[in-house]
Amino acid sequence: KNQVEQSPQSLIILEGKNCTLQCNYTVSPFSNLRWYKQDTGRGPVSLTIMTFSENTKSNGRYTATLDADTKQSSLHITASQLSDSASYICVVPYDYKLSFGAGTTVTVRA
Amino acid sequence: NAGVTQTPKFQVLKTGQSMTLQCAQDMNHNSMYWYRQDPGMGLRLIYYSASEGTTDKGEVPNGYNVSRLNKREFSLRLESAAPSQTSVYFCASSDNRGQRETQYFGPGTRLLVL
C-alpha cells in the first residue's frame, strides 16, 4: 500500500532554535517528494519538490533531505521564527495522484 | 490573481440536507481536485478532473458528486449530508496531472453536519 508516515505528530520549540521533521514513505515507483506548509485555517502551500536524484534542497530556512534508498526524507527548520508555527505535510505522488502524510504540527514559542 | 477560491468558508448542515461547495481558479489550470482533511489523517482525494468535461473518482467518493462547470470552476455536491462528512474540504488545481506539477490549494471550507 502506498503510504506516507510522519513523525513526530507535533513538537514545540523556542524561537531561534532548530528542528527536524521526519517522513517515511512506501510509495512505489518513486518519482518525487514534496513538503507542504499549512498555516492554521489555510490551505497547504508547497515548500519544496525533490526528485529521485536530489539529496538536499533548500528554500530559505527550510532544508529538505531525501534518501531514496531508505525511503526517508527530513525537513530541517533553521533559526525558527514565530511564523514557522504550522503543520508540515510530506507528500508523495503515485498513479497521478498524491499520497499525503498526516503532518507534523510545529509550535514556535517566544 | 486570486489563485484558488472557495465558497462558503464555513457551513453548518443538518443530517439529510444538501449543499454545493464552489471552487474557482484563475490560473488557467487544466486539472482540479477536491480533498477532505480530517484530524490525524492526511488529505484524501474525493474527486478530480483532469480537464474540462472529465471527472474521476478518488479515494473517498461515496456520498459526493462533482461538476466541472468550465475550465475555471469545479463544484462538489453533498446530496444528503451525514455527520461522517463533517470535515474541512480543500479544492486544488494544477497545470497537468503529471507527477511533477505543483498543486495549488484554496483556503478550505469547514463543514459541520449535525
Q: What residues have CB less than 8 Å from A100, skipping those under 6 apart?
A: A4, A89, A90, A91, B42, B43, B44
Confidence at B8, pLDDT banded by 50, 70, 90 = very high
Rounded distance, CA B40 to CA A103, Å? 8
Residue B97 pLDDT more than 60?
no
Note the pLDDT of residue B46. Answer: 97
Section B82-86 average pLDDT: 97
Q: pLDDT at position A93, please? A: 86
pLDDT of residue A30: 84
**CA dist., res. A47 & res. B69, Å (int):** 30
Could you tell me if residue A16 is left (phi over 0), alpha (psi between -120 and 50 degrees) or otherwise beta? left
Q: What is the mean pLDDT of residues A33-52?
A: 93
Section A46-68 average pLDDT: 92
Lowest mean pLDDT among A54-58, B14-18, B21-25, B88-92: A54-58
- Among residues B47, B65, B49, B67, the alpha carbon closest in space to that of B57 is found at B47
β-strands B10-13, B109-113: how paired?
A: parallel
pLDDT at A1: 59
Beta bridge partners of A68: none
Residue B9 clears pLDDT 70, i.e. is over it = yes
Residues of chain A in contact with residue B108, where contact means CB-CB under 8 angstroms, are 41-43
Q: Which residue has the higher pLDDT, B102 or B70?
A: B70
**Cα–Cα distance for residue pair A106/B5, rounded to 1 Å:** 26
Place of cell 504540527: A105
Q: Select the more confidently predicted residue: B108 or A3.
A: B108
Is the pLDDT at B7 greater than 60? The verdict is yes
Which of A98, A99, A104, A105 has the most B C-beta neighbours within 10 Å, making it the best mutation to test the interface with B?
Answer: A98
- A99/B4 Cα distance (integer angstroms): 21
Percent above pLDDT 90 for chain A: 78
- What is the pLDDT averaged over residues B3-22? 97
pLDDT at residue B56 is higher than 60: yes
Q: What is the mean pLDDT of residues B54-66?
A: 95
Inspect the interface and report whether the beta carbons of A46 and B103 lie closer than 8 Å: yes
Q: Which residues of A touch B43 (CB under 8 A)?
A: 44, 89, 98, 100
What was the pLDDT predicted at B98?
59
What average pLDDT does the segment A22-44 reach? 92
Percent of chain B with pLDDT over 70: 95
Report whether the peptide linkage leading into residue A44 is cis, meaning its omega lies within 30 degrees of zero.
Answer: no
* A60 Cβ contact list (under 8 Å, min separation 6): none
Write out chain A residues lying below 8 Å of B30, CB-based: none
